[in-house]
Amino acid sequence: MRLSVIGCGYLGAVHAAAMASIGHEVVGIDVDERKVASLSKGEAPFFEPGLQEILTEGIASGRLSFTTDMSAAQGAKVHFIGVGTPQQPGGYAADLTYVHAAVDGLLPYLSEGDIVAGKSTVPVGTAESLAPRVSDRGATLVWNPEFLREGWAVQDTIDPDRLVAGVPSTDGGPTEEGARTAGVLREVYHPSIAKGTPFIVTDYATAELVKVSANAFLATKISFINAMAEIAEVTGADVTTLADAIGHDARIGRRFLGAGIGFGGGCLPKDIRAFSARAEELGRGESVAFLREIDAINLRRRDRAVDLTVQALGGSVFEKKVTVLGAAFKPHSDDIRDSPALDVAVRLHGLGADVTLTDPAAIENARRIHPQLTYVEDRDEALRDADAVIVVTEWDEYRRDLDPAHAAALTAGHIVVDGRNCLDAAAWRAAGWTYYGMGRP
Ligand code: UGA
């Protein structure tokens, strides 16, 4: 099928390449000339495992192209909207400028019967308000939220847990037009549906809410375990053992019970805030008032990591050499948007520490925003002569591959703060380190 994808960021670029990889003919459209030039050469403009391969393959096959020219969308049957919905400056609500611009820019190129499929994360009610503009052109709007995780984006796009389509509906279910558009989306995603991926057809509001409530739930799960870490800290309990134990209950599950410096990135933090803002607008602020607490717990964990480092260094980090392992908001990503890791590094620098930071993928992005820190590519070089080491992104390079005895031979002091509870505490202690975890004795 011929498809267009408007917006070629983390979501759109992966979606375009993944759709080409399952056999569709895809044009990706973005206003950013640099991004389009890089994608057109088959070069991924950001770090995402597996993206490079499917980009190269798609371009070589002739099925995948990129342009800044919106008219290239003409002739596609389904137009995906994958632009960003960042937090508004000075507020909690989502900024929908790019969604409106994408839809308005696309309108002149729509043909009768086309489908516009919104993938961006939007406040509930957005699709309802955009739909008339699309139907005036004889096309249909559907909301088809995306659940990909950075670092696993290619796999999550080709083989998602579930597919959700919000289509024009009445109280009795999808309208005839809604049912037809759901059928077209089924064709788009045929390879994954054929493998058994659930395909849920619903109305606009439910589809929009599925997305924000999924992220709100994940954020809540992380902050729940971090709240337990706070209690563990005053009682001498170990939150990692606690998480293992409660995680054995299938109703709870161990995933996303990783206590540490908390969640960040371009999605969870801004999505829970936008959800709160939207609920307030709807007069239902109290229903999700707990999300404010989830946010507050999350941010407190960054303070905790900084405090632990200060305490470990005898009450001050001033002029102490601190090596920070990690900058990305999570491993397998170069994304530093609202990264707790980078935030902790910047705060330690602000307290007068001589911070050296390393990361396998995110140094360039971090340097652009925070040129005041010292960046070193080589992990061992970064560790040399450090008074303390703090792990803030659980890359395999630190979690699995860094031998504590080897690290001890490089550093001046032997204090390690494990901001992700990802190190083997016993092994580090045995190698002579004073180990500090998050919510661990
Ligand atoms: C998140 C959701 O997981 C995706 O399903 C969703 O599609 C995406 O947002 C989105 O809305 O686009 P992502 O932001 O890529 O995906 O990252 P996650 O894997 O959810 O991690 C988010 C943050 O939580 C990271 O900073 C991570 O380090 C932290 N985290 C995760 C924890 O602190 N503890 C955990 O146990 C798990």
278 vs 121: CA distance, rounded Å: 13
* % of the chain with per-residue pLDDT over 90: 100
Q: Which of 10, 46, 150 is the pocket-test mutation for ligand 1 (most atoms within 8 Å of CB)?
A: 150
Give the Cα-Cα-Cα angle 136, 139, 143 (nearest 5 degrees). 110
The C-alpha torsion from 409 through 410 and 411 to 415, rounded to 10°, is: -60
Same domain for 342 and 399, yes or no, is yes
Are 382 and 409 in contact, with CB atoms under 8 Å apart? no
- 3-state percent breakdown (helix, strand, coil) of the chain, nearest 5: 45, 15, 40
**Mean pLDDT, range 46-51, rounded to an integer:** 94
Is there an atom of ligand 1 within 6 Å of 269 CB?
no
Work out which ligand 1 atom sits closest to the CA atom of 150.
Answer: 15
Cα 56 to averaged position of ligand 1 atoms, centre (Å): 27
Same domain for 232 and 191, yes or no, is no
Is there an atom of ligand 1 within 6 Å of 329 CB?
yes
Same domain for 173 and 233, yes or no, is no
In this structure, which amino acid lies at residue 18?
A
Q: Which residue range forms the structural domain that includes residue 317?
A: 210-441
Given pLDDT bands bounded at 50, 70 and 90, which one contains residue 369? very high
Same domain for 308 and 195, yes or no, is no
Q: Is 267 known to be catalytic?
A: yes
Q: Which of 202, 220, 244 is the last residue of a domain?
A: 202
Is there an atom of ligand 1 within 6 Å of 222 CB?
yes
> What one-character DSSP code corresponds to residue 73?
G
pLDDT at 75: 98
425 vs 440: CA distance, rounded Å: 10
pLDDT at 316: 98
Give the Cα-Cα-Cα angle 182, 184, 189 (nearest 5 degrees). 90
Residue among 153, 154, 111 at smallest CA distance from 4: 111
pLDDT at 308: 98
Q: Which of 15, 47, 119, 148 is the pocket-test mutation for ligand 1 (most atoms within 8 Å of CB)?
A: 148
Q: What are the tokens at 91?
A: 């507020």
Burial annotation 399-408 (CB, 10 A radius, 16+ → b, else e): beebebeebb
Give the Cα-Cα-Cα angle 42, 45, 46 (nearest 5 degrees). 125
| Averaged pLDDT of the chain | 97
Q: Which of 156, 183, 202 is the last residue of a domain?
A: 202
Q: What are the tokens at 11?
A: 């979501």
437 vs 441: CA distance, rounded Å: 7
pLDDT digits (tens, 9 = 90+) for 173-197: 999 999 999 999 999 999 999 999 9
Same domain for 191 and 305, yes or no, is no
pLDDT at 259: 98
Are 14 and 44 in contact, with CB atoms under 8 Å apart? no
Are 294 and 220 in contact, with CB atoms under 8 Å apart? yes
Same domain for 141 and 27, yes or no, is yes
Same domain for 170 and 261, yes or no, is no
Which domain CATH number covers 68? 3.40.50.720
Same domain for 176 and 221, yes or no, is no
Is there an atom of ligand 1 within 6 Å of 148 CB?
yes
Give the Cα-Cα-Cα angle 79, 80, 86 (nearest 5 degrees). 140
Q: In 223-371, which ranges are E strands? A: 321-325, 354-358
Is there an atom of ligand 1 within 6 Å of 330 CB?
yes
Q: Which of 177, 202, 227 is the last residue of a domain?
A: 202
> How many structural domains are present in the chain?
2
Catalytic residue among 182, 267, 386, 422: 267
Is there an atom of ligand 1 within 6 Å of 413 CB?
no
C-alpha to C-alpha distances, 183 to 22, 86, 179, 261, nearest whole angstrom: 18, 31, 6, 43
Residue among 314, 310, 313, 292 at smallest CA distance from 302: 310
Q: What are the tokens at 131?
A: 């739909």
10 vs 401: CA distance, rounded Å: 28
Same domain for 326 and 355, yes or no, is yes
44 vs 169: CA distance, rounded Å: 38
pLDDT digits (tens, 9 = 90+) for 59-110: 999 999 999 999 999 999 999 999 999 999 999 999 999 999 999 999 999 9
pLDDT at 188: 98
Same domain for 138 and 219, yes or no, is no
What is the tally of helices (H) and strands (E) in the chain? 18, 16
- With H, G, I as helix, E, B as strand and everything else as coil, classify residue 398: helix
Same domain for 341 and 363, yes or no, is yes
Same domain for 146 and 193, yes or no, is yes
